[in-house]
Amino acid sequence: MNRVGAVCYSFQYSIGLFSYNQREGERFDVFKFVEATRDAGGECAQIFYSMLDDLSDDDLKRLEAHGKDLDVLLEIHGGTALRPDYEKTIHKAAAAGVKVLGCSFGMMERPDKIATLKEWDEHVEKCRHRLKEIADIAKPLGVTIGVENHLDFTIQELHDLIKECDASNVGVIFDVGNPIGTLDDPLEAADLLGPYTVATHYKDFAVEEVTRGFVMTMVPLGCGSLQLPEITKRLLKHVSPDIGFAIEMMNGQQLKINWLEDRFWAPFRGASAQQVAATLRHIRGKSIDIAEYLPVDEVDKLPHDERLKLERDRIARCISYLKGLLE
């Protein structure tokens, strides 16, 4: 059975990542994150590159040994591949014995950051060149690059990017929920991207339709709108059993997808009515568990100890749920 575990974002408050980087109190370091994942029942830990910034080569070797001692598969997500020091993360991954290094090329780029099709094509060309560049650096180090579908590329665009790169050490970090953000059907996404998948982000969104499109709120696995049993069934037809299934449980994170605005589609080459219908059928076909619906503004009101407990309890439940699907 594929190893199940956690993306470090599932412990973003405990670690002090992103909007919590200024919070007071003790924080997890990368070693504690791996231990917390194991304590929650996980066997796969996906680390964010910034957690390695202060680690020496000796520390990275110690991290590799720590993962082996706990029987936890280590992966790294390197953030955007367009940052100029991404190469540094490739070398850190190799030094820690990590075989899969993730990347993205932006998040929700269209239409607010990239408003026209011409600008989008220019961006894709830059991504294509950069992917080949980092793949060539990573290959002799034994590192595979996984490009995440990060609410930027449609699943077909990402498929084409990977195919055109034509590198044996380039694949996909398949995020099971993000296809919704580009009006792609998650079931079709599993079929199309599954053969190229080298790592995963497992999540669930409670999707609410609103005037301009929909709002997606992250909830524990099985409590939202995603048809996770069917997505998993399809994905397992394609992926190797040594690929990690890492859960991304960013409590209450909300994303607005204003796909009913004309400007949303300006930088896209369009989607067929059949494709959009499949996406809508997917999110309308399953009711959400309202008892588990907790938006981020409500999460942020919780006292410190309750925040820590929420992260710990929810990721343990998610790991148990996903193992149940795989079994």
Q: What is the pLDDT along the chain (327 residues), one digit of tens a residue?
A: 999 999 999 999 999 999 999 999 999 999 999 999 999 999 999 999 999 999 999 999 999 999 999 999 999 999 999 999 999 999 999 999 999 999 999 999 999 999 999 999 999 999 999 999 999 999 999 999 999 999 999 999 999 999 999 999 999 999 999 999 999 999 999 999 999 999 999 999 999 999 999 999 999 999 999 999 999 999 999 999 999 999 999 999 999 999 999 999 999 998 899 999 999 999 999 999 999 999 999 999 999 999 999 999 999 999 999 999 999
Whether the CB-CB separation of 47 and 30 falls below 8 Å is answered with yes
Could you state, in order of their start, the residue ranges of all structural domains in the chain? 4-204+226-250+301-326
Reading the block at residue 219, the tokens are 């909830």
Give the homologous superfamily in CATH for domain 4-204+226-250+301-326. Divalent-metal-dependent TIM barrel enzymes (3.20.20.150)
Q: Which residues of 116-148 are buried (b: 16+ CB within 10 A; e: fewer)?
A: eeebbeebbeebeebbeebbeebbeeebbbbbb
Whether the CB-CB separation of 75 and 30 falls below 8 Å is answered with no
For residue 319, give the nearest of 1, 52, 26, 4 by alpha carbon: 4
Which bin fits 75, alpha (ψ -120 to 50), beta or left (φ > 0)?
beta
Element (H, E) at 170: strand 170-175
For residue 17, give the nearest of 315, 206, 249 by alpha carbon: 249
Taking the whole predicted model, whether its pTM rises above 0.95 is answered as yes
Q: What is the pLDDT of residue 74?
A: 98
Q: What is the pLDDT of residue 270?
A: 83
For residue 202, give the nearest of 183, 216, 222 by alpha carbon: 222
Q: Is 56 exposed, middle or buried (0-12, 13-18, 19+ CB in 10 A)?
A: exposed
